[in-house]
Each structure stands twice: as structure tokens, then as C-alpha cells.
Amino acid sequence: MPRIAGVDVPDNKKMLYALQYIHGIGAHYAKLILEEAGVNGDVRAREVPETQLAQINAIIDATYLVEGALRRQVQQNIQRLKDIRSYRGERHRKGLPVRGQRTQSNARTRKGKKKTVAGKKGVKAKA
């Protein structure tokens, strides 16, 4: 398995898709990186020479924020929102959707499993 930016990318995938296994690199950036390095995106990762892998590594290290550094930056951004007590920070703190989605009928992913609340028992009125 070739190692790019500290990540073992699958060697049986085409380079265009193998690069996307790196956190922070999607289809668009993968294409730009391969164009800059002069590597064909249809070539399997195992067939790319070490020199071109080193070139791809150099481009990623110099230009893009990936893996641990990117995860750390995202966490710091969320922590900053919590610290300044912004609306978005409060939503993160409560574990609710942050981007305006409805929560009355959906949002099970963020809210977790249903917590059933017992309903009121029917009280019969005396006549």
C-alpha cells in the first residue's frame, strides 16, 4: 500500500479515488493534485512510481491541511463557538443540529435514540 500524507491508501484503486481516502481531500482537490504532479488519475495506486508519490506528498504537505491538523482545526473552531456562547456553539453543546434543521420530527442522528415520555392518563369527569 502506498503511503501518502501519513495515510495508507488502497493500492488497487485508481489514484483519483485513492487520494480521497485522505481526510480533507475530496474529488476536486484530488484532481488538482494529480494535475499538478503530472500523474494520470486512471493509473492504479500500486503502479505509480515512488518519485511521483514523493511529489504528490510534497504538494499535499505544502498546500493542503489534511488528517490530524485538519481535525484539530475543526475541533478548535467548534470549541471557540462554545466558548463565546454563540447560538451555534450552544447547539453543539446540547448535541442538537447546528445548521437550522427541524428537530420536532427528525434529527434522530444528533438527538440519539427516542426517550419515551409517559403521556397523561385519561381522567374521567364526574357527572
**What percentage of residues in the chain have a pLDDT greater than 70?**
97
String of DSSP letters for 46-94: GGS-HHHHHHHHHHHHHH---HHHHHHHHHHHHHHHHHTT-HHHHHHHH
Q: What is the pTM of this model?
A: 0.77
pLDDT in tens, 68-108: 999 999 999 999 999 999 999 999 999 999 999 999 888 89
Name which of 51, 7, 49 is nearest 30 in CA terms: 7
Average pLDDT over residues 24-52: 93
3-state secondary structure of 45: helix
Place of cell 501518502: 4
